[in-house]
Amino acid sequence: MTARREAWREGIGVAVATSAYGISFGALAVASGLDVWQTCVLSLVMFTGGSQFAFVGVFSAGGIVALPSAIASAVLLGVRNLAYGMRMSPIIGTGFWRRVAAAHVTIDESTAVAISQSTAPLRRLGFWVTGIGVFVGWNLTTLVGALIGDVLGDPRAWGLDAAAAAAFLALLWPRLKKRQAVVVGAASAVVAASLTPVIMPGLPVIVAAVVAIVVGWFNWFSGERAERRAPMNGASA
């Protein structure tokens, strides 16, 4: 019972903290030109915060002309949920409707809480508590943010335009422990920053993602080769 209570508490805590970002998304979406209903439908249907912020950010920068780039950026960021789905599949179990529901709430937070638990039942509990909690809370706060967007005025004056970037940086920072990760992050940032003034909004993110994939795929800067050589050289000595 103590372990189950802890899983509930962790899931609800993560859901409450994550839902707070929904206010900033709702306000930014309305400020970018979407109406309240469009903003709420976007949260209900897309329901992946990173992709939603990417879509709104690119759309607000380029308008209807940048819509293809906005969609591409959102899809690109949402691809990571496929990997989460493969990881969560044995935890969720069988059943068509259960899997359909699970697919919609398989996000960073529900996956993280699930895999942090010690047993399969606790992982399943953590997944559903977090996923459903974030879904309900995120959509409610999105509505609140959209409704009070006009009252807040310019979201940039409150720093809400930086909320997404700050959240992404917070997620990225703990991963920058190895040379490979640092090189991938730095190269992607340089490419995106260099291309932003000269090409269509949204495309710099896509190009930077391609750079990250190429560098990560070939593993050029991991240092593993040097590490493998060291024991061999030591043995031959």
- Give the chain as a 3 state SS string: CHHHHHHHHHHHHHHHHHHCHHHHHHHHHHHCCCCHHHHHHHHHHCCCHHHHHHHHHHHHHHHHHHHHHHHHHHHHHHCHHHHHHHHHHHHHCCCHHHHHHHHHCCCHHHHHHHHCCCCHHHHHHHHHHHHHHHHHHHHHHHHHHHHCHHHHCCHHHHCHHHHHHHHHHHHHHHHCCCHHHHHHHHHHHHHHHHHCCCCCCCHHHHHHHHHHHHHHHHCCCCCHHHHHHHHHHHHHC
Euclidean distance between CA atoms 79 and 107, whole angstroms = 11
57 vs 13: which has the higher pLDDT: 13
State yes or no: pLDDT of 117 exceeds 80.
yes
Q: Please, what is the average pLDDT of the chain?
A: 78
pLDDT for res 10: 87
pLDDT, tens digit (0-9, with 9 covering 90-100), for 43-56: 999 888 778 887 88
pLDDT for res 237: 39
What value does the mean pLDDT take over residues 156-179? 62
pLDDT, tens digit (0-9, with 9 covering 90-100), for 184-236: 778 878 888 888 778 765 667 677 777 777 776 776 666 554 444 444 454 44
| Max avg pLDDT among 79-88, 128-137, 162-171 | 128-137
pLDDT for res 2: 86
pLDDT, tens digit (0-9, with 9 covering 90-100), for 10-28: 889 888 888 888 888 888 8
pLDDT for res 150: 63
pLDDT for res 220: 65
pLDDT for res 118: 84
pLDDT for res 172: 63
pLDDT for res 202: 60
Query: Model pTM?
Result: 0.68
